[in-house]
Structure 1
Amino acid sequence: MFRRFSLALSIFAGISSIACLNLVSSNVQAQDWTAAAFPVKTHQFGTVAVGSKTEFVFPVVNTMSNTMHIQTVRASCGCTTPIVQNQYIAPGETGSILARFNTDTFKGQKGATLTVVIDQPFYSEVRLRVDGYIRSDMVFFPGAIEFGNLAQGEAVAKSTKVLYAGRSDWQIMDVRSNKSWLMPVVKETVRENGRVNYELTVDVREDAPTGYFQDELVVVTNDRSMPNVPLRVSGQVESALSISPQAIALGSLKPGEAVSRKLVLIGREPFHVDTITADGWKINFQPTSESKKMQMVDATFTFVGDTAGPKKESFVIKTAGGNSVTAKGLITAEVRGE
């Protein structure tokens, strides 16, 4: 009887040990999965002004073989609104969760824990964290400078007001930009009875690169404790000339072998094509006979380099005339040896 009882205890202990090991292994796997899926779990907004558009995007990477589904995200504080930007994330793809700091309704030191609930391919909860200080004496109106769509090559300016109430000697000392083509200028407009107003204007220069941009200017004040306040600036710079297709795959070819492709070019203004060039390539095309906003161009590409192997090179299309514009595309090919 005693031997049977001892044997039963031994079996039970063995089963318990295996269960504990499995539980520890599952926890370790879950930790490894969340570390890969959420490479960033905390963000510090720093000191921001009342009404400023303050947001941060947490990337979510699906490293698994099945589709990930984010069921919901809940915030521990109303100072932050979480927004699921991609509920379903395919294997190998990256989604995002946007955290919006509600600077128009909250003030002072604030923070929130965002609990992300995932129910596919298996259930899991991940906690993200944001923190920041919303100063009550300084307001941006509007809370961000948003340019929307911009035409490349055109200088555009937009403004916001900086409103302050407090010290009579308060000043904006500088506004810093880390982009040479984003040029901020600040001008004081009001100073009376502890109230100070500025107009902050941002110019986008003609040499701004194409594509979407989102950046932060740093407004530097004479506050000793909180001198730097960020201001969000965003926009989409669109090329004056677009190419379709922008990436041209020529496949496998020999040096000196010509391959033809049809290009569709669209400009904001009527144009003629002047040149099409690329390092290591000879590109011939039939000159356009009429100035139009859309041109169909038959181009012939010939590799004139002296090395075989995979090739990846930019090509540049330039229009004719005094208001010439350019656009870039990409050539890819596999050049065979002789």
Structure 2
Amino acid sequence: MKRLFVLMFIVAGWNAQAQQSKPLQFKEEIFDFGTVAEDDGPVTHEFVFTNGTNRPIKIMNVQASCGCTTPGWSKDPVAPGKTGYIQASFNPKGRPGFFNKTLTVTTDLDATPLVLQIKGQVNAAGSSEPSDFQAMNGSWRLKTGSFNLGKVYRKDEFTSRDFQILNSGSKPVTYSGKFTGPSYIKVDVTPKTLAPGAKGNVKISYNGKLKGAYGFQSDNVEIQTDDEINPVKSFSVYATLEDYFEPLKPEELAKAPQLRLGITSLDFGTVSASGATREVTVTNSGKKDLTIRSLQGNCSCVTASATKPTLKPGESSTIKINFKPQDRKGTQQKAVTVYSNDPRNPVQRLTFSAYVD
């Protein structure tokens, strides 16, 4: 019994340590360039971070996974509460197709490196072959049949992404300037008239605050053209929404709410077709009220609810997870994403496994 208690204590310590905030608080650790033209030269992105510790941190080295990516970084020590940057410059020359590169960052604080990621799609120089554009919509060809914007912050501004199109028809296709869609999505096409064999871009702009939701979202837009084959072009628009938090000083972070999950993974065991429910403890270990803003299951078979959405400092409650297998059988791996006002870790994930008879 004593050994069991010691083991439980060690596991709890591991869980607590895993949930501590990162010393370098990045606004994002993955950046998608979208479509990049091979002949337009290098593209660059800066990963901005805040020093969330009480001592200066110096970036010792940034190692790129490929010679096509040139790193840069803040050379001087970054004081507590101040911001620094890691820069990634990717050269698409001679690299058509999908790319996914990493930057390994080491500091004088911790021997464990942090890994940042850039990705995107390089459009081959001078290429207008239909084989590069697999999705058809009338005379338009695209690399995918939908528009995925990736992560979009719930800010009152529009986040934009460009998606390349090719006119594979024998006649010019003109965008009328009109589209049908929700108010939080805007559409533009350049050039307005696309000659046969020519390439252009569809710009999708998305306002996360106007959408007013969290997590993965799916919408639809219809773009009006004079295309004889399919004048009204329908597309799905995907985005993953989360809150944006301004960088905080160490003294502000010390007073902020902090969400701690009792566990981050669990086993439902064997589940019948009628489903099962489990509970996970959630605690506010911060100094201000914690609000659980949304709970999102990763499929229709998973729902979750907070017994008490707002927790005072030091208060604990539970998150109830309901799993209804529906027609699913065998081993299942599912997840619930927790969105809160914890500025250190506003998005946390609970994963669970189950075996359905």
Q: TM-score, normalised by structure 2?
A: 0.34
Greater radius of gyration (CA): 1
Q: TM-score, normalised by structure 1?
A: 0.36
